[in-house]
């Protein structure tokens, strides 16, 4: 006989930590995209040199990444604390992803100057891959746990699956294009167009998962409200009788 598993929302009382988690990711993603585009346009117009562009972008990533990473860590942990079971495990693991924006502008110095790892002529590529993995691994585990949870509402499970695919594409497509450009097809015009696409994909790395979290919060909140209404309905009938 098939066991019936009771469906539960992601959070029992309030979904505010999850909403704030998604909102912070969206805002950081938008700010990063706007700043990157603005600095790139100034560099292309000759208003600033390439070293100045790199310096200002690194400074922005270090400051905004540190603030964002700390807030994300707090929101992940609050969501984990206010949940239970596999949801708590999922968001506790997801908290590791908060290291990605914190290390975004610092990882090169940490890897090659502090730890002393050889750059092998591709320091920025290695640093980018490390930051990407720090975000991809915990976030993918989080979404997989939610997507496979039998106690999760169906909408939450499907959106979590979409979230995993979003994180997968936005994380590994830029790495694939970079490897293609450096190792297999350097100077290929088609790869050049792929690099342009890759740049746009990188800017969606935080924005899209943030939107997924907001959508999860909305679906879970609606499910919680429906549960409350269903539990209150029999009581209203009994009082009417």
* Residue 128 located in a structural domain: yes
* Residue 228 located in a structural domain: no
Domain total in the chain: 1
What is d(CA 75, CA 67) in angstroms, rounded to the nearest whole number? 13
**Secondary structure tally for the chain: helices H, strands E:** 9, 0
pLDDT digits (tens, 9 = 90+) for 107-135: 665 655 555 555 444 455 566 677 788 88
Provide the whole-model pTM: 0.83
What is d(CA 125, CA 182) in angstroms, rounded to the nearest whole number? 10
What is d(CA 75, CA 57) in angstroms, rounded to the nearest whole number? 26
* Residue 3 located in a structural domain: no
Residue 120 CA: distances (Å) to CA of 54, 113, 172, 195:
21, 14, 21, 21
- Say if residues 72 and 97 touch (Cβ distance below 8 Å): yes
| Cβ-based neighbour number of residue 236 at 10 Å | 10
What is d(CA 82, CA 198) in angstroms, rounded to the nearest whole number? 37
pLDDT digits (tens, 9 = 90+) for 53-79: 778 887 888 888 899 999 999 999 999
Model pLDDT, residue 196: 67
Contacts of 175 (CB under 8 A, 6+ apart): 128, 129, 132
- Assigned token pair, 164: 């995993």
Helix (H) / strand (E) containing 140: helix 123-147
Model pLDDT, residue 162: 94
* Residue 9 located in a structural domain: no
Among residues 70, 69, 43, the alpha carbon closest in space to that of 54 is found at 43
Residue 21 CA: distances (Å) to CA of 57, 72, 102:
24, 6, 16
Model pLDDT, residue 163: 94
* Residue 108 located in a structural domain: yes
* Residue 35 located in a structural domain: yes
pLDDT digits (tens, 9 = 90+) for 18-48: 999 999 999 998 998 888 888 888 888 888 8
* Residue 52 located in a structural domain: yes
Q: How many CA atoms lie within 13 A of 13 on its CB side?
A: 7
- Assigned token pair, 63: 């400051």
Q: Containing domain of residue 116, as a range?
A: 16-223
* Residue 139 located in a structural domain: yes
What is d(CA 50, CA 56) in angstroms, rounded to the nearest whole number? 10
- Say if residues 198 and 177 touch (Cβ distance below 8 Å): yes
């Amino acid at each position: 006989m098939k066991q019936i598993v009771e469906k539960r929302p992601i959070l029992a009382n309030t979904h505010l930590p999850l909403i704030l988690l998604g909102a912070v990711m969206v805002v950081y993603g938008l700010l990063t995209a706007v700043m990157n585009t603005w600095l790139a346009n100034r560099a292309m117009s000759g208003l600033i040199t390439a070293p100045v562009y790199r310096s200002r972008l690194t400074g922005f990533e270090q400051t905004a990444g540190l603030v964002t990473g700390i807030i994300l860590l707090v929101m992940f942990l609050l969501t984990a604390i206010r949940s239970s079971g596999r949801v708590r495990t999922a968001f506790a693991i997801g908290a590791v992803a908060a290291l990605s924006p914190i290390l975004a502008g610092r990882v090169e110095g940490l890897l090659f100057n502090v730890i002393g790892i050889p750059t092998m002529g591709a320091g920025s590529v290695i640093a980018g891959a490390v930051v990407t993995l720090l975000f991809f691994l915990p976030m993918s585990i989080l979404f997989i746990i939610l997507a496979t949870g039998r106690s999760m509402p169906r909408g939450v499970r499907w959106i979590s699956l979409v979230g995993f695919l979003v994180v997968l594409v936005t994380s590994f497509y830029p790495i694939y294009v970079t490897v293609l450009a450096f190792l297999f097809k350097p100077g290929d015009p088609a790869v050049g167009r792929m690099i342009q696409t890759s740049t746009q994909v990188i800017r969606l790395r935080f924005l899209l998962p943030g939107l997924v979290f907001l959508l999860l919060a909305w679906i879970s909140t609606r499910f919680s409200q429906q549960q409350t209404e269903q539990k209150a309905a029999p009581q209203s009938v009994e009082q009417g009788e």
